[in-house]
Chains A and B, each alone.
Chain A
Amino acid sequence: MVSYLANRVMTTKGQKACMVIDHLVEALAGDPSSPLRRAIILIDIDQHSGSTQTGVMERLSIHKSALNREIEWLFNYGCIVMRNSEHDGRAKSLEVCGYSKTGLKTALRYFENDHEKLKAFLEDVAHVLKQEKPTLRDAKIVTALFEMRSAPRQKVVDSLYNAPITSNHRAINKLIEEGIVKTDESRSE
């Protein structure tokens, strides 16, 4: 607990943002390719534990088929469990479990355990990224660069996750193309 509190006080806001993203990657089966939307769904399920898929759909205004895919992913990777709903025999109630619960709990500490704040944070970051489906990897690239200010490409890649190196470079290239990340060349244009 003391070391956690020490971390909170001693770290900069950029480092805190990086840590939140890291904990969310942990919560999502260590997959940095997870869209921020998936993280928001996981947070919502934890916030409204026992809620049904319809409940998530209504609260987050997500299309049914898109939500189905995300729920299926979360279930297949052991992030959530499904139980028969007490209120509706046809519906399943959803709960976050295992490592997802642990990762989420740690991320929530940076937001006074306020799920709404964590969701709003991710929505704000997604808005800055301006992509159709921004991922946790994209979020980590920009938060790491925010913290480092200016850094060689390799240092940015080193701050990312164990993933195929091409995935990391592809994500950086996309952010450069979109003008979110600048290179020496693009700055002089």
Chain B
Amino acid sequence: MNLDLSRDVDSKLNRIFGEYFGGGPSVSNVLTFNSLASVHKTAEPPAFKLSFDAATL
């Protein structure tokens, strides 16, 4: 049996979460992270901090 939210609740949560957390990750951030992670082979790529300062924080 599959569960999902009622349309009304889903739309209200979408508004609330959007208000407090913004729109979520952008494609460019995801690509940047993946590229850096593959180059540095570490969970904490040292250059990562440079890729998301002003726009996303």
Residue pair A12, B48 in contact (C-beta under 8 Å): no
Residue pair B33, A9 in contact (C-beta under 8 Å): yes
User: Which of these, A3, A143, A185, contacts B44 with CB under 8 Å?
Assistant: A3
A152 to B21, CA, bound (A): 26
Residue pair B2, A150 in contact (C-beta under 8 Å): yes
B57 at the interface (CB under 8 A from A): yes
Residue pair A124, B3 in contact (C-beta under 8 Å): no
B30 at the interface (CB under 8 A from A): yes
A146 to B16, CA, bound (A): 12
Select the residue from A6, A121, A124, A149 with max chain B CB neighbours within 10 A: A6
- B10 to chain A: which residues have CB within 8 Å? 146
Stretch of A60-68, A160-168, A175-183 at the chain-chain interface: A175-183
- B6 to chain A: which residues have CB within 8 Å? 179-182
User: Which of these, B16, B30, B46, B56, contacts A128 with CB under 8 Å?
Assistant: B16
B41, chain A: closest CB distance, angstroms: 15
Q: Nearest residue in B to A2 (C-beta to C-beta)?
A: B44
Residue pair B3, A172 in contact (C-beta under 8 Å): yes
Residue pair A128, B29 in contact (C-beta under 8 Å): no
Residue pair B16, A149 in contact (C-beta under 8 Å): no
- B18 to chain A: which residues have CB within 8 Å? 13
A183 to B5, CA, bound (A): 9
A124 to B44, CA, bound (A): 34
Residue pair B52, A16 in contact (C-beta under 8 Å): no
User: Which of these, A6, A10, A179, A184, contacts B2 with CB under 8 Å?
Assistant: A184
Select the residue from A5, A176, A184 with max chain B CB neighbours within 10 A: A5
Question: CB within 8 Å of A: which of B1-49?
Answer: 1-6, 9-10, 12-14, 16-25, 29-30, 33, 43-46, 48-49
The 8 A-B residue pairs whose C-beta atoms are closest, nearest first, are: A13-B21, A13-B17, A12-B24, A150-B4, A16-B21, A2-B44, A124-B16, A9-B52
B interface residues with partner A (beta carbon < 8 Å): 1-6, 9-10, 12-14, 16-25, 29-30, 33, 43-46, 48-49, 52, 56-57
**8 A/B residue pairs, CB under 8 Å, sorted by A:** A6-B48, A14-B17, A16-B21, A149-B4, A151-B4, A172-B3, A181-B5, A182-B5
Q: A9-B52, A121-B16, A187-B4 are in contact. List 9 more A-B contacts (CB 8 A).
A: A5-B48, A5-B57, A14-B13, A110-B20, A110-B21, A117-B20, A150-B2, A152-B1, A182-B3
